[in-house]
Chains A and B, each alone.
Chain A
Amino acid sequence: DAKTTQPTSMDCAEGRAANLPCNHSTISGNEYVYWYRQIHSQGPQYIIHGLKNNETNEMASLIITEDRKSSTLILPHATLRDTAVYYCIVGDYKLSFGAGTTVTVRA
């Protein structure tokens, strides 16, 4: 499975956009990029996924570079409830979660 690299932590101001980077330089052609988040000690929650094209849903946008070696998750208007650990995952159905990025949204 391809591995990902994410910053350990980042802060974001409430109401501002949060841009979460992820590097996945060894991704193979049929592997998707998934983003999940885990709030406190709950089960992870799906956010968005994509293969090549940029994607947007009601929660976030996913920007994947043309060479597919990196991506950025964008939370357009961060709220305090978006404070969580965000996981960038590359693979098929055998998802492998790394340590993720701890995002703290501050008032």
Chain B
Amino acid sequence: NAGVTQTPKFQVLKTGQSMTLQCAQDMNHEYMSWYRQDPGMGLRLIHYSVGAGITDQGEVPNGYNVSRSTTEDFPLRLLSAAPSQTSVYFCASSPYGGADTQYFGPGTRLTVL
């Protein structure tokens, strides 16, 4: 199993551009989530999904959209990038939430100029 994969590893955007961060898992996990981590800070939950077709907002959802059309994929869309979205983005998956562990991807380092 590849686990949780994220692409790209690095990305530089200009203010106002849009892009999609990709996240995929091959463990047949129902629960997937996106976090952002700003320098020197902990991770903050952006959006999460408890299964295909079901998504919900986390702590900091503004400026981001998600969809979950398949169990494997959970892309994160930045609609109009802003410098405040410069961060490291982590995707995670878990068998079915609750007390289960979460498996994190390697992260995408995004810089918005």
Contacts and interface: CB of A to CB of B under 8 A. Distances in A.
Interface of B: 4, 31, 33, 35, 40-45, 48, 50, 58-59, 88, 90, 92, 94, 97-107
Interface stretch (A15-23, A40-48, A61-69, A71-79): A40-48
A10 interface: no
Given A93-B31, A96-B59, A42 B99 contact: no
Interface residues of A, number: 20
14 contacts: A32-B98, A41-B88, A43-B4, A43-B105, A44-B43, A44-B102, A49-B101, A87-B42, A94-B45, A94-B58, A95-B33, A95-B102, A97-B43, A100-B42
Contacts of A46: 101-103
Contacts, number: 54
A2 interface: no
Interface string A75-107: 000000000000100001111111110000000
Given A95-B33, A95-B45, A96-B45, 6 more contacts: A41-B107, A43-B90, A43-B106, A46-B103, A94-B45, A95-B102
